[in-house]
Amino acid sequence: MEILLNGSPSGQLSLLIDPEHALAVAKFLRDAEHLRFDYCSNVTGIDWPGKEISVTVKTKKIVDGVEQEVEEIQKSQSAGCLEAVYHLYSMEKKHGPVILRMRTENRTDRVSLPSLTPIWRGAEFQEREIFDLYGVVFDGHPDLRRILMWDGFEDHPMRKDYVEPDDYEYEPTAHDEVLQKAKRHLNRAGWP
Partner 1 sequence: MSAATLPAVHLTPKPSIDGSEGQLLEVSMGPQHPSTHGVFRMDVVLDGEQVVKLKPVFGYLHRNHEKIAEQETYLGSMPYTDRLDYFCSITNNWAYALAVEKLAGIQVPERAEYIRIITGELTRLQNHACLIGFLMQDMGASGTPLMYAFREREKILDLLEALTGSRMMCNYMRFGGCRVDFPTGWLQQAQKVVEAFPRFLDEYERLLAENEILMARTQGIGVLPKELAVNAGVTGPMLRACGVNYDIRKVDKYGIYDRFSFRVPLGEHGDVYDRYMIRLLEMRESVKILQEAIRDIPSGAIMDAKTKIRGFRPKAGEAYGRIEAPKGELGFYLISDGSPNPYRYRVRPPSLINLTVLEDMCLSHNVADVVVILGSVDIVLGEVDR
Binding site for partner 1 (CB under 8 A): 6-10, 12, 14, 38-42, 44, 46, 85, 87, 91, 94, 97, 99, 120-126, 133, 146-152, 157-158, 174-175, 177-178
Residue whose CB is less far from partner 1, 24 or 179? 179
Is the four-CA dihedral 122, 127, 128, 129 of positive or negative sign? positive
Q: Could you count the other beta carbons within 10 Å of the beta carbon of residue 37?
A: 27
Neighbour order of strands in the sheet with 39-48? 2-4, 14-16, 95-103, 81-90, 39-48
Query: In angstroms, what is the minimal distance from the CB of 20 to partner 1?
Result: 24
- Rounded Cα–Cα distance for residues 121 and 130 (Å): 15
Query: In angstroms, what is the minimal distance from the CB of 178 to partner 1?
Result: 5
Residue whose CB is less far from partner 1, 19 or 153? 153
- Rounded Cα–Cα distance for residues 129 and 18 (Å): 22
Query: In angstroms, what is the minimal distance from the CB of 138 to partner 1?
Result: 15
Distance of CA 130 to the CA centre of its chain: 6
Residue whose CB is less far from partner 1, 10 or 56? 10
Query: In angstroms, what is the minimal distance from the CB of 30 to partner 1?
Result: 9
